[in-house]
Amino acid sequence: MLFQRLLRVADHGIAAGISLAATHRLQVEAESALPLLVFVIAGTLAFPSAMGVLGLYESQRRRSLARIAGQLVLGAALTATVLVQVCMALARPEWSPYAASIALAQLVALATTRLAIYSALRIGRRHGRNVRHVVVIGTGPRAKAFASEVALNPTWGLRIVAFLDEDQPMSGTRLAANAVRKLTDFPDIVRQHPVDEVVVALPRSLLFQIEPIAAECALIGVPLSVLSDLFADKLPASQTVRYGRLPAIQFADVVYDSTDLFLKRCLDVALGTTMLVLLAPVIGLSMLAIHVTSPGPVLHRQVRLGRNGRPFVMLKLRSMVADAEAQRAALQELNEVSGPVFKIRNDPRVTPVGRFLRRWSIDEMPQLWNVMRGDMSLVGPRPPLPHEVDMYDSWHRRRISVRPGLTCLWQIHGRSDVQFAEWVDLDLHYIDHWSLGLDLRILLRTPLAVLRRDGAS
């Protein structure tokens, strides 16, 4: 804990120094000193706060350096976003370049020091320093697998003190005879050796044996982890939840960290607001062009399904004739996409102005309002129509298990050129591997896909 506190203090000091240095050249009158002070304070707090939210002040013992580096880059992106928003709130948009320079300089300084510290710690753990002593309950294949993982990752700094079991080790486990003790020996082991953690590696049929050890761990303050094989491989990984006073084990195909989801929502609001303001003139001119060239409303309101099938009204700039839906049945045989989705590359219902709007994805811009409302996210699977979901196979429905988005992997991999099965595969890959870093990569690649007009129709 002391180490983490010292890191936090050092990070704030580095961030403060860089913020002061970056804003030193700002020439402001005496009455503008307060906005400058607010900007400097924001620059001092933003990056360390982002690191705290991303869990970088917790133990990084079992995190890879690549993952830590990725989290630091994400922290810099969040810092830049926050500081730009502060500039806008202070009515000082001309300070935005300083916001970007502060975030970049802090990234270089903090990443260099942080990765150097963690590299040194890993080298020390590899050589037997700063180790955590572990007692493993069990001597079967699961205990062997755990021991193998520990051996393959010396930088974790874990040292197995003993294996506890009522029976002799199974053949082939290759556990040292002097490392195997009886379950009843646990209190003696705790007295004889430092024990930082207990890992239970028993089959589910024998979990009842650990109740005395679990009680002992609670008494002496040693954390206990259970390598669970409940329901074997038929269900995804579990997590513990509570219904009031009642504890429960929950199985979810993908479990996202609530902090990461909160940051994703903050990113949606911050970037969505900025994009909506910047693109307002483009949206306004497009609405005028639609109104002048085609009878009917300028906005197309369509019911789509959001997370877990919740209906919402999605906004688009109208790119088709007013009675496009009535003409669809007659054009069904021209559908070029397999599955429940209906798409025609040269759809005769699209107006000339609408074709231009679609080519550059301008027709999708009003959905930034759906992002602001929380119906959608900037990144996520595209929201389907209700009748499309009615035709889904069971495995297709998982693509609506998350909040839909403006863009996703489908958008940067060909758009309308992608068949439905591949489309679903891309969405499920996104869901299974989601991270804030993946969202940022998709957001950065989307403008390129639009400029190349990949699969635009």
Domains in the chain, CATH or no CATH each: 2-126 (no CATH), 132-251 (3.40.50.720), 258-452 (no CATH)
Question: Does an H or E element contain 70, and which?
Answer: helix 65-89
Position 177 scores a pLDDT of: 47
Position 172 scores a pLDDT of: 45
Residue 351 pLDDT class (50, 70, 90 cuts): very high
Q: Kindly compute the dihedral angle of the four CA atoms of residues 378, 366, 389, 353, in this order, to the nearest 10 degrees.
A: -120
Torsional sign, CA 57, 63, 64, 70: negative
Average pLDDT over residues 160-188: 71
d(CA 50, CA 146): 33
Treating both helix axes as pointing N-terminal to C-terminal, what angle do 65-89 and 96-126 enclose, rounded to 10 degrees? 160
Question: Does an H or E element contain 314, and which?
Answer: strand 311-317
Q: Helix-strand-coil percent breakdown of the chain, rounded to 5? A: 55, 10, 30
Position 29 scores a pLDDT of: 46
Q: What pLDDT, in 10s, does the model give residues 7-57?
A: 888 888 888 888 888 777 665 544 567 788 888 888 898 888 888 878 888
d(CA 379, CA 434): 10
More confident residue, 85 or 311: 311
Residue 193 pLDDT class (50, 70, 90 cuts): confident
More confident residue, 301 or 40: 301
Q: Pick left, alpha or beta for residue 302 (phi over 0 → left; psi -120 to 50 → alpha; otherwise beta).
A: beta
Position 23 scores a pLDDT of: 75
Position 453 scores a pLDDT of: 66
Position 308 scores a pLDDT of: 85
Position 232 scores a pLDDT of: 52
More confident residue, 124 or 317: 317
More confident residue, 69 or 313: 313
N-term to C-term CA, the chain: 56
C-alpha dist (Å) from residue 431 to 130, 150, 368, 393, 400: 37, 29, 21, 17, 10
More confident residue, 435 or 259: 435
Residue 122 pLDDT class (50, 70, 90 cuts): confident
Q: What pLDDT, in 10s, does the model give residues 430-455?
A: 998 898 888 988 998 888 888 776 55
Question: Is residue 295's pLDDT more than 70?
Answer: yes
Residue identified by tokens 């050249």 is 25
Helix and strand numbers (H, E) in the chain are 14, 11
Position 78 scores a pLDDT of: 85
Residue identified by tokens 């009886």 is 182
Position 300 scores a pLDDT of: 93
Q: Which of 24-38, 72-86, 150-164, 370-384 has the lowest mean pLDDT?
A: 24-38
d(CA 29, CA 142): 68
More confident residue, 302 or 245: 302
Position 19 scores a pLDDT of: 86
d(CA 408, CA 377): 10
Position 171 scores a pLDDT of: 45
Position 246 scores a pLDDT of: 72
Question: Is residue 173's pLDDT more than 60?
Answer: no
Q: What pLDDT, in 10s, does the model give residues 365-414?
A: 999 999 999 999 999 999 999 989 989 888 888 899 899 999 998 888 76
Position 280 scores a pLDDT of: 93
Q: Do the Cβ atoms of 311 and 303 come closer than 8 Å? A: yes
Average pLDDT over residues 58-74: 82
In the chain, what percentage of residues exceed pLDDT 70?
88
Mean pLDDT, all residues of the chain: 83
Average pLDDT over residues 80-96: 84
Q: Do the Cβ atoms of 285 and 430 come closer than 8 Å? A: no
Position 111 scores a pLDDT of: 87
